[in-house]
Amino acid sequence: MARNGSPPDQVAAVRDQLRARGLRWTPQRRTVLEVLAETQGHVTGAELIERCRARDPATIPSTVYRTLDVLEEIGLLRHGHGPDGREEFHVGPEPEHGHLHCAGCGASWELGSDEAAALMTAFEDSHGFAVDLSHLTVVGRCRDCRTANAP
C-alpha cells in the first residue's frame, strides 16, 4: 500500500508545509490527509467525504471541501470536473494529465503525455494560452461505441 516512505511520513510532511504557511494542523485535516494517503488517482468529493466518515463519523462536508481547497493551494492535489460536471480530485505525485471520457459506454482514459503536450503547444502557439491539463476532460464517443452505433 505504501508507496515510498511510510504514510505517516507523507502526512507529517504536509503538516509541516501547513505550519510553514501559518496554517494549522487539526484532527479534521489529519483525517482528510490519511484518507488521501491511501487513495490513488481520481476521487469525487462525495467519495472522499464518505471515506472520511468511515474514519471519523463526525466529519462535516464543508470542512472536507475547505481542507481540499487548502491542499490544492499548497499543490498536493488538483481538482477537475468529470463529464457530468461533478468535482473530481486527482491525488498524488502523478503528473497532471487530461482525460478522455466516452459518453456511450462511460469508460475513461488518461491522455498520453505526448498528446497532452501537443495539445498544450497548439493552444500556446495560437492563443498564448496555458492549458490546465488536470481540468481537461474531453467528452465524446470511443471507437467501440462508434462502430457499434453506426456500422
Q: Which residues bind its own copies (CB under 8 A)?
A: 81, 83-87, 100, 102-103, 109, 112, 115, 118-119, 122-123, 126-132, 135-136, 138-143, 146
User: Closest distance between its own copies and the C-beta of residue 42, in Å?
Assistant: 14
Site for DNA in 55-94 (CB under 7 A): 58-63, 65-67, 70, 86-87
Spatial distance between the Cα atoms of 19 and 142, rounded to a whole number of angstroms? 46
Site for DNA in 116-135 (CB under 7 A): none
Residue with smaller CB distance to its own copies, 58 or 118: 118
Spatial distance between the Cα atoms of 53 and 65, rounded to a whole number of angstroms? 13
The residue whose grid cell reads 481547497 is 69
- Give 53's Cβ-side CA count (13 Å radius): 9
User: Closest distance between its own copies and the C-beta of residue 90, in Å?
Assistant: 14
Q: Hey, what amino acid is at 151?
A: P
Residues in the chain: 151
